[in-house]
Amino acid sequence: MLPFTAGQFTKLGLEIDGERVQRAYSYVNSPDNPDLEFYLVTVPDGKLSPRLAALKPGDEVQVVSEAAGFFVLDEVPDCETLWMLATGTAIGPYLSILQLGKDLDRFKNLVLVHAARYAADLSYLPLMQELEKRYEGKLRIQTVVSRETAAGSLTGRIPALIESGELESAIGLPMNKETSHVMLCGNPQMVRDTQQLLKETRQMTKHLRRRPGHMTAEHYW
């Protein structure tokens, strides 16, 4: 098993035309699960992702043994409600954290929000629902789609749904600096817009080791 902390990423690589091509991907599996799992989207003109998507059972993939990244619970301060907001494949780090299930006793409520363009892109909804049952009321999940309407999902973009109050209404919990810490992972535009909105309307600040705050973020590209 390759050692990593839930929330971290590593690099996957292939030899392509005599050259080693590698890209960073977050672990989806729990660190105590020896079966490595990664969630990626095929970029049509990408150098690596189409090759990874074409792999068959038994094919070899290079995995960098050292994990990296600080998007981990050790970097998150205690709070009443931990909001975990993701777009697309950036749901991965949260699934790793929640599947491991350690160091979560210091939060009263956990909220996992996964946003995608279409409902068909909510690939991990079954696992999200399974985790929701496992946490017996402590974890609340919400899906969001931006290009269509879908049963059970909010429609729009995460920043707009926070601004309108729809997200908090759907979850039944407030998002504020008194009770909340917000983790943001995914589309850089979503991350920036949400940080700016929470800074301006909720007086929430970026969390730094030297200056504790209310938001922790990881851009996915």
Neighbouring residues of 197: CB distance < 8 A, sequence distance ≥ 6: 159, 162, 163
Q: What is the pLDDT of residues 26-49, one digit of tens each?
A: 999 999 999 999 999 999 999 999
Position 68 pLDDT exceeds 70: yes
Q: Can you give the pLDDT at residue 198? A: 99
Q: Give the domains, in start order, of the chain with CATH numbers.
A: 9-63 (2.40.30.10), 73-219 (3.40.50.80)
Please give the full DSSP string across 140-155, using - where no structure is assigned.
EEEEEESSS--TTEEE
Q: Which residue has the tokens 């907001």?
A: 85
Position 2 confidence tier, pLDDT thresholds 50, 70, 90: confident
- Other C-beta atoms closer than 10 Å to the C-beta of 199 total 15
The pTM of this model reads 0.96
pLDDT the model gives residue 1: 66
Q: How confident is the model at residue 194 (pLDDT cuts 50, 70, 90)?
A: very high
Residue-averaged pLDDT of the chain: 97
pLDDT tens per residue across span 108-126:
999 999 999 999 999 999 9
CB 171 within 8 A of CB 154: no
- Would the CA dihedral through 162, 185, 80, 195 be positive or negative? negative
